[in-house]
Amino acid sequence: MELAEKVRQLPASSGVYIFKDAAGEIIYVGKAKNLRSRVRSYFGEAAAQQLKVEAIQRLAVDLDYILTATEVEALLLEGQLIKKHRPRYNVLLKDDKEYPYIRIDLAADYPRLEVVRKAGRDKARYFGPYPNAGVVNDTLKLANKLFPLRTCNDIRGKKRPCLNYYIRRCLAPCQGKVSPQEYRSLVDQAIMFLEGKHQELEARLHREMKAAADSFNFEKAAELRDQLAALAKLTTPQRIVTNRRWNLDVLAVAVEPQLAAAQLIKVRGGKVLGNEYHGFEQPELADSGEAVSAFIRDYYASASLLPAEILVQQLPEDAEALETWLGSRRQGKVVLKVPQRGEKRMLLDMAQANLASHMEADLRQQQESQGQGKAVLEQLASALGMGRLPIRIECYDISHFQGSQTVASMVVFEHGRPARSQYRRFRIRGIPDPDDFASMAQVIRRRFEAAREDREGFNRLPSLVVVDGGKGQLSAALAQLASLGYAGIDIVSLAKREEEIFIPGRSEPLVLDRDDPALQLLQQIRDEAHRFAISYHRRLRSKETLLSELERIPGVGPARRTALLRAFGSIQNLRDKDVAEIAAVPGMTWPAAEEVYKWFRKKK
């Protein structure tokens, strides 16, 4: 059926529409309260004046749609499809890694704070997402400093308190030194701190201190006094932006030809609790209204604490659906608002100024690196006879030690630069003897089977695959790509000794000058894959060596060996620890820690 006929037959219902090009690739996903009306609007004369719509008119040859019960359901489905397919004309927040959260399991008798990469659907409370590991770790340190909750994985079977008890960083619930009620009060305080309710927390601590003093429990009153002082010291640096105790988020978004980004300022109790800069995956011909909608959809889908108000520079077309969805997530009303004057307008101006500063620095860095990187990619594409630039290059290397513990690495370069968050490691399975060809075949098969199954972390395909080795490794990898339906992906191998480049279909290897930038880029990628594989292999060997040593120490059984391996990873790391640090490992006792310490001091 022709595209025009499909458009005419669309129902007047809510749902998601999907435009595809001649190759069957999804180029745009959208949602609508009325599919027929919305999709027809793409083909009017006025719509063609918009660059993105003009591109869709020119490229789209097919149309699919999925009906939903409501516009809110369409909003959620649209987000899922955009994340899955990454269409070229949709806006999507960058999410190479899952943003971190702080989790506290309220079902546990004595909960602890921990960092996790994903918010689960359980009875635990989650706080976040935080923009990066540094911010979440700093927040965790502050919380653990203020509230002496346990930090160990398990409190069962301990014969004495850990080191944290002696330095007043834990109340030793493992030894029954704190009642469940007193510990739960501490948990509630930590939750208030993480929610940004610092003034309410301060008032609560004042009340508890007064109650302790009135009942002549002066030791408890002194502890609460110290806690209040620490809280005041830690929260003083937060900038006060208004005397009103507003709890709201301020969102500024900008879309430039080379860069799209957002700035989110979180105001809690009138203070700036967070100031986050987020980039979008590079959209083609996007507008800021669509970017506002995409940010809200992607960011708040996993946010733990939603504000009652979000200030934006312009209301997106789907503002009503977004407010309904946000309200259902918050279990209370959420309003999107464009402030025109007063303090809220000043907050939005502040967010826009922060965004402009960050984007200027990003663009400068991007232009410096891309100017050099694009020229090298053009040279590499020309040398290899590729029909397109190798924007995403994946390189694979095999490593083993005397035929044991064979591992493989996958490193990723995008625009000529390492994309370290996308590196992956593999343990080769079921190949008893060292066989580089079979190992390479296995890792290529596992990686591209994961792509075919659309597994997270593997659903982005490379423009070019590089394998470390010669003709044998290339043939093994090529056969797997062909068998999985990926024969169209360009692939080469790079042999170490003479730096020969083997290309499918060519009888002789390509030899480039040693100072050729294209060869140097391939060498850099190959060396990075080798380094990554070797580092993984060494880590496995260190653990194996440590495990064999631990098996010889009296009083250290399988559970303790596993805990020590997880905590220290190598003999050198364990050898440098004192008894208290070893005893702090979950499952360890003081006598067992002394045995471990003595063993390694004797070996030293």
H or E segment at 385?
A: none
CATH number at residue 39: 3.40.1440.10
Q: What is the mean pLDDT of residues 304-330?
A: 92
Strand partners, 491: 465
Structural domain contains residue 497: yes
Q: What are phi and psi of 429, to 5 degrees?
A: -120, 145
Inform me whether the pLDDT recorded for 241 exceeds 60. no
Structural domain contains residue 231: yes
Structural domain contains residue 243: no
**Strands, E, within 105-228: which ranges?**
113-116, 125-127
pLDDT tens, residue by residue, 203-217: 887 888 888 788 788
Q: Which of 240-254, 504-518, 551-565 shows the highest mean pLDDT?
A: 504-518
Strand partners, 413: 393, 418
Residues 22 and 77 in one domain: yes
Q: What is the mean pLDDT of residues 41-50?
A: 70
Inform me whether the pLDDT recorded for 523 exceeds 90. yes
Neighbours of 498 (CB within 10 A): 9
Residues 532 and 396 in one domain: yes
Structural domain contains residue 298: no
pLDDT tens, residue by residue, 117-175: 777 777 788 887 777 777 788 788 878 878 888 888 777 767 788 888 887 788 888 88
Residue 96's pLDDT band (cuts 50, 70, 90): very low
pLDDT tens, residue by residue, 382-425: 999 998 899 999 999 998 765 567 888 999 998 888 888 889 98
Residues 112 and 190 in one domain: yes
Residues 253 and 221 in one domain: no
The answer to whether the CB of 348 falls within 8 A of the CB of 252 is: yes
Inform me whether the pLDDT recorded for 578 exceeds 50. yes
Centroid of chain to Cα 252: 22
Residue 355's pLDDT band (cuts 50, 70, 90): very high
CATH number at residue 490: 3.30.420.340
Q: What is the sign, positive or negative, of the torsion defined by CA atoms of 434, 440, 442, 443?
A: positive
Structural domain contains residue 94: no
Residues 121 and 14 in one domain: no
The overall average pLDDT reported for the chain is 83
Domain with 10, as residue range(s), is 3-89
Environment class of residue 290 by beta-carbon count within 10 Å: exposed (0-12), middle (13-18) or buried (19+)? buried
Environment class of residue 459 by beta-carbon count within 10 Å: exposed (0-12), middle (13-18) or buried (19+)? middle
CATH number at residue 289: 3.30.420
Three-class HEC string of 432-480: CCCCHHHHHHHHHHHHHHHHHCCCCCCCCCCCEEEEECCHHHHHHHHHH
Note the pLDDT of residue 239: 52
Q: What is the mean pLDDT of residues 236-260?
A: 75
Note the pLDDT of residue 52: 80
Inform me whether the pLDDT recorded for 437 exceeds 90. yes
Percent of residues in the chain assigned helix, strand, coil, to nearest 5 = 45, 20, 35
Q: What is the pTM of this model?
A: 0.55
Note the pLDDT of residue 171: 84
Residues 530 and 444 in one domain: yes
The answer to whether the CB of 31 falls within 8 A of the CB of 90 is: no
Q: What is the DSSP letter of 178?
A: S
Note the pLDDT of residue 302: 78
In 3D, which of 13, 7, 9, 51 has the Cα closest to residue 32?
13
The arrangement of strands across the sheet holding 248-255 comes to: 92-93, 271-281, 260-268, 248-255, 309-312, 335-337
Residues 503 and 411 in one domain: yes
81-85, 307-311, 538-542: the lowest-pLDDT one: 538-542
In 3D, which of 394, 435, 438 has the Cα closest to residue 414?
394
pLDDT tens, residue by residue, 452-488: 887 877 888 999 999 999 999 999 999 999 999 898 8
Inform me whether the pLDDT recorded for 546 exceeds 80. no
The answer to whether the CB of 302 falls within 8 A of the CB of 278 is: no
Residues 430 and 517 in one domain: yes
In 3D, which of 379, 374, 397 has the Cα closest to residue 465?
397
Residues 326 and 445 in one domain: no
Note the pLDDT of residue 547: 60
Inform me whether the pLDDT recorded for 113 exceeds 50. yes
Residue 296's pLDDT band (cuts 50, 70, 90): very high
pLDDT tens, residue by residue, 69-95: 888 888 888 888 888 788 888 887 776
Structurally, the chain folds into a number of domains equal to 5
Residues 261 and 166 in one domain: no
26-40, 349-363, 527-541, 569-583: the lowest-pLDDT one: 569-583
Q: What is the sign, positive or negative, of the torsion defined by CA atoms of 402, 404, 405, 406?
A: positive
Structural domain contains residue 476: yes
Q: What are phi and psi of 17, to 5 degrees?
A: -115, 150
Q: How far apart are CA 41 and CA 357, in angstroms?
A: 37
Inform me whether the pLDDT recorded for 237 exceeds 80. no
End-to-end CA gap in the chain: 78
Inform me whether the pLDDT recorded for 246 exceeds 70. yes
Residues 336 and 398 in one domain: no
Q: What is the DSSP letter of 514?
A: T
- Residue in the block written with tokens 């990187």: 373
Residues 166 and 252 in one domain: no
Structural domain contains residue 74: yes
Q: Which of 519, 539, 559 is the last residue of a domain?
A: 539
Q: What is the mean pLDDT of residues 5-25?
A: 89
- 367's CB contacts (< 8 A; 6+ apart) are 258
Structural domain contains residue 96: no
